[in-house]
Amino acid sequence: MAKIIPFKAVRPAEDKVSLVTCRNYDDYSQAELAAWLNFNPYSFLHVINPAYVHSHTTSWDKRFKGVALKYQDFKREGVFVTEEKPNFYIYEIKSKTNSFTGILAGTSVDDYQNNHIKKHEDTLQYRVELFKDYLHQTRFNTEPVLITYPDSVELNTWISLKKKSKPLYSFSTTNKETHTLWKIDTESDIDWLVQHFENIPNLYIADGHHRSSSAELLRQQDQHLNNPNLDYFLSFLIAESNVKIYEFNRVIRDLNDFSKDQFLEKLGENFNIELKEQELWKPSKKGKFGMYLDGKFYALTFKDSDFLDKNASVLNQLDAQILYDTVLQPILNIGNLRNDERIDYISGKQPITEIKSAVDGGEFAVGFMLYPSDINEIKSIADADLIMPPKSTYIEPKFRSGLVVYEL
């Protein structure tokens, strides 16, 4: 069973919400960041990156304390308001091409530890420790873990009904998205939602493995505080069918001292190679890969179809793992996918021309395009207690910082 709880949120004042909320900090270039901070005094970027001009010379401890102080300033100045009691929230993100709707709730650290909230990605301990220290110093989180639940007609119908009521917020952003938030605050609705999730045996992390692991570590460190909020972490719960999964494509800086012809010959041991010339070709199913090399596109088809059908574990059948096992490691000598400086990643949300430009510009020698994984592959990996290769998936939706705050 999955345990979720309502929480006493801190959120922007209604007249300021479109000014306060922002994209993830890492999504901004330095020029964009400077512009937003200079002209918008209400941007949440002021909280998460205080005194940004000097941030590169400031210790993490001082930066985190600065975040905590600026957050309290925003509360004191009325930029943020605090709910009177715990609630759930329904949140909808609409763009020109996609629409996502989910539930904001607290999810259980115990469920995470007991593997009722399942994982498919590994974590880097230094990142887990760093975000744990951030939470410890700031005492708040506004970056929910994206968690999927099985599709439910009953829950979909309930959400659709609640979305007919007046929302707390409905606002547009400069990246042409519309964001709408509804409060679920009646006792009957809260009880119904809690009971519905109690009948779900397992939830699956789609995005936010480091955040959930940090929440576990924070509770362990701060258990002496007897703070019940530490027993849960902020999550955005969304139906499996409503997530959008993109691939992460790979670009490699050199051919490991192979000539182009030698490299193609090596590839031919495991792949059928078809020259596509200038066609912007990308794979349309598993077991096929696109490649851009020396100004030309290629279609690569994995030869061992029996391997894909029955002989391999769910992990070894992943296209990202096949590419690593047959090309990146044995031919190009790419070691650790997390920290080898010879490899970089471009999300499948970006056009293929980004890969072409990266190679044509001379920084990279070859690019590979993959077919995206689906939710069933991710769940199978998690159910088998296996870990996907780093940068296997880029998953949407992405949450807007500063929209809802979970205090610790």
Spatial contact of 327 and 369, defined as CB atoms under 8 Å apart = no
pLDDT of residue 313: 79
Nearest to 273 by CA among 368, 392, 372: 368
- Cis ω for the linkage preceding 283 (within 30 of 0): no
pLDDT of residue 29: 81
- CA distances to 256, 258, 268, 368 from 262, rounded to whole Å, are 11, 6, 10, 17
pLDDT of residue 196: 97
pLDDT of residue 5: 98
pLDDT of residue 381: 94
CATH 3.30.1760.10 segments of the chain: 245-395
Condensed to tens digits (0 to 9), the pLDDT of residues 123-138 reads 889 999 999 999 999 9
Spatial contact of 163 and 101, defined as CB atoms under 8 Å apart = yes
Residue entry with tokens 């801190």: 10
In this structure, what are the phi and psi dihedrals at residue 303, rounded to the nearest 5 degrees? -75, -35
For the record, the structure tokens of 297 come out as: 């596109």
CB atoms < 10 A from the CB of 85, how many?
9
pLDDT of residue 396: 95
pLDDT of residue 337: 86
pLDDT of residue 377: 93
Residue 272 amino acid letter? N
CATH 3.90.1530.10 segments of the chain: 4-243+396-407
pLDDT of residue 31: 86
Which residues touch 365 (CB under 8 Å, ≥6 apart)? 252, 253, 254, 255, 293, 359
Nearest to 91 by CA among 81, 83, 100, 82: 100
CATH fit for domain 4-243+396-407, picks 3.40.50.2300, 2.30.30.100, 3.90.1530.10, 3.30.70.890: 3.90.1530.10
Condensed to tens digits (0 to 9), the pLDDT of residues 257-277 reads 999 999 999 999 999 999 999
Residues of the chain where predicted confidence (pLDDT) is lower than 70? 50-57, 305-312
pLDDT of residue 311: 59
Supply the pTM of this predicted model: 0.92
pLDDT of residue 339: 82
- DSSP assignments along 62-118, one per residue: HHHHHHHHHHHHHHHTTSEEE-SS-BEEEEEEE-SS-EEEEEEEEEEHHHHHTTSEE
Q: 245-395 has which fold?
A: 3.30.1760
Spatial contact of 90 and 102, defined as CB atoms under 8 Å apart = yes
pLDDT of residue 314: 84
